[in-house]
Amino acid sequence: KAGVTQTPRYLIKTRGQQVTLSCSPISGHRSVSWYQQTPGQGLQFLFEYFSETQRNKGNFPGRFSGRQFSNSRSEMNVSTLELGDSALYLCASSLWGAVVDTEAFFGQGTRLTVV
């Protein structure tokens, strides 16, 4: 069974550009969550999608957005990139992600560097 796949693995962008990251969850999983990991702020929750609807949102500016498709694949977009957006972006998927207790499986992340 394939795990959570994030593409690309590495990305270098210039300040002011925009970027789109992709996450393919484990087959059958309907919940996808995104996290930003930086040395200074640690792991911070960005947002969660469940059945194509954003269910939870972290405390990030509107430059950070996401969406989920009918096949549960998710994308996150960061517009007008800033140097501080350089981070490891992790995606996690789970079967339901609702009240039912299900484990979240993480991908290997996308390392974004903004120059």
Name the helix (H) or strand (E) containing 48. Answer: strand 42-50
Nearest to 106 by CA among 96, 89, 86, 91: 91
DSSP 8-state class, residue 63: T
Rounded to a whole number of angstroms, the minimum distance from the CB of residue 109 to other proteins is 5
Choices 12-20, 36-44, 61-69, 76-84; region in contact with other proteins by CB under 8 A: 36-44
| Contact string (CB under 8 A) for other proteins, positions 39-78, x = contact | ---xxxx--x-x----xx-x--------------------
Task: Identify any residues that bridge with 35 across adjacent strands, giving them in sequence order.
Answer: 45, 90
Rounded to a whole number of angstroms, the minimum distance from the CB of residue 67 to other proteins is 16
